[in-house]
Amino acid sequence: MGVIGQEIFVIIGFLGGTGPEGKGLALRFALAGDQVIIGSRDKARADEAAASVAEYAPEGSVTGGLNDEVASASDVVFVAVPYGGHRATLESLREFLAGKVVVDVVAPLVFKRGIVSATRVEDGSAALEAKAVLPNSTVVAAFQNVSAEDLLEPDTSIESDVIVCADDADAKAMVIGLADSIPGIRGVDGGGLQNARYVEDFTAMLLNINRIYKAHSTIKIVGI
Ligand SMILES: NC(=O)c1ccc[n+]([C@@H]2O[C@H](COP(=O)([O-])OP(=O)(O)OC[C@H]3O[C@@H](n4cnc5c(N)ncnc54)[C@H](OP(=O)(O)O)[C@@H]3O)[C@@H](O)[C@H]2O)c1
């Protein structure tokens, strides 16, 4: 947590923030007035990604660092690595992530001959895997359905709902607030972390729809 004058602000970090999803979310939160840190396994890559986001963001709001520096310096840490690196990344950062809110955006997918499928995860979902690996962190699952390409367009409003699943009510409310801070996005309470599997799997459906319609589809929940 940082303090400027009397104002307390939350620092948001991104593991794997050099990829399009982490970079896109970092851009949107920086534009919303948050302090963000882009993480990487390589400091030069982190700095390069931070510089590209900083071009559009308020001055001084974006920095880069190694993933472990990002995990320890942030209050809220987004996990934006491919599923293949998910468990190992979290295991290696467990001590730095203790006591933090960890937001998992990972959708475990397989791409084969132009078709996207959801992969079965032993723990039930990437989010539940994160919870098992990080017993001393508060895991929230969100943003798995939001296209990085849309996030990376700073002037575009994204018409989408973001389903937020967590077992901790305060952390869930905080992440719903973060979702609401992006123009056009609405955070929706998706219940406990066990429901994250449905959101992760549905990402495969959206990507298959994208291929058919040559579009960036997303979800809207009606009737609530
Ligand atoms: N792309 C989308 O539109 C989108 C939408 C919703 C959700 N997501 C989810 O967000 C996550 C990130 O997506 P992305 O497209 O940004 O992924 P990506 O570009 O493939 O990877 C993001 C970053 O993760 C790091 N990384 C790569 N392999 C790794 C490994 N084995 N272990 C640790 N770090 C590794 C790399 O950063 P360094 O080399 O700099 O460390 C890379 O720049 C995915 O799990 C995806 O399911 C993506």
Write down the pLDDT at residue 110.
Answer: 96
Ligand 1 neighbourhood includes 219 CB (under 6 angstroms):
no
Within a domain: 112: yes
Within a domain: 89: yes
Whether the pLDDT of residue 7 is over 60: the answer is no
Average pLDDT over residues 195-212: 97
State which ligand 1 atom lies nearest to the alpha carbon of 89: 33
The tens digit of pLDDT for each residue in 30-45 reads 999 999 999 999 999 9
The tens digit of pLDDT for each residue in 170-192 reads 999 999 999 999 999 999 999 99
Within a domain: 26: yes
Spatial distance between the Cα atoms of 17 and 81, rounded to a whole number of angstroms? 8
Within a domain: 88: yes
Average pLDDT over residues 17-42: 97
Question: Mean pLDDT score of the chain, rounded to an integer?
Answer: 95
Average pLDDT over residues 134-150: 97
- 22 contacts 14 by C-beta, under 8 angstroms: yes
Cα of 6 vs centre of ligand 1, distance in Å, is: 36
Expressed as residue numbers, the domain containing 50 is 2-213
Spatial distance between the Cα atoms of 89 and 63, rounded to a whole number of angstroms? 20
Within a domain: 219: no
Whether the pLDDT of residue 6 is over 60: the answer is no
Whether the pLDDT of residue 198 is over 70: the answer is yes
Spatial distance between the Cα atoms of 78 and 84, rounded to a whole number of angstroms? 16
Ligand 1 neighbourhood includes 42 CB (under 6 angstroms):
yes
Instruction: CATH number of the domain at 143, please.
Output: 3.40.50.720
Whether the pLDDT of residue 9 is over 70: the answer is no
Write down the pLDDT at residue 10.
Answer: 85
Whether the pLDDT of residue 3 is over 60: the answer is no
State which ligand 1 atom lies nearest to the alpha carbon of 49: 40
Whether the pLDDT of residue 4 is over 70: the answer is no
Ligand 1 neighbourhood includes 179 CB (under 6 angstroms):
no
The domain tally of the chain equals: 1
Within a domain: 176: yes
The predicted model scores a pTM of 0.96
Ligand 1 neighbourhood includes 35 CB (under 6 angstroms):
no
Within a domain: 218: no
Average pLDDT over residues 107-117: 95
Ligand 1 neighbourhood includes 82 CB (under 6 angstroms):
yes
For the chain, percent of residues with pLDDT exceeding 70? 96
Within a domain: 91: yes
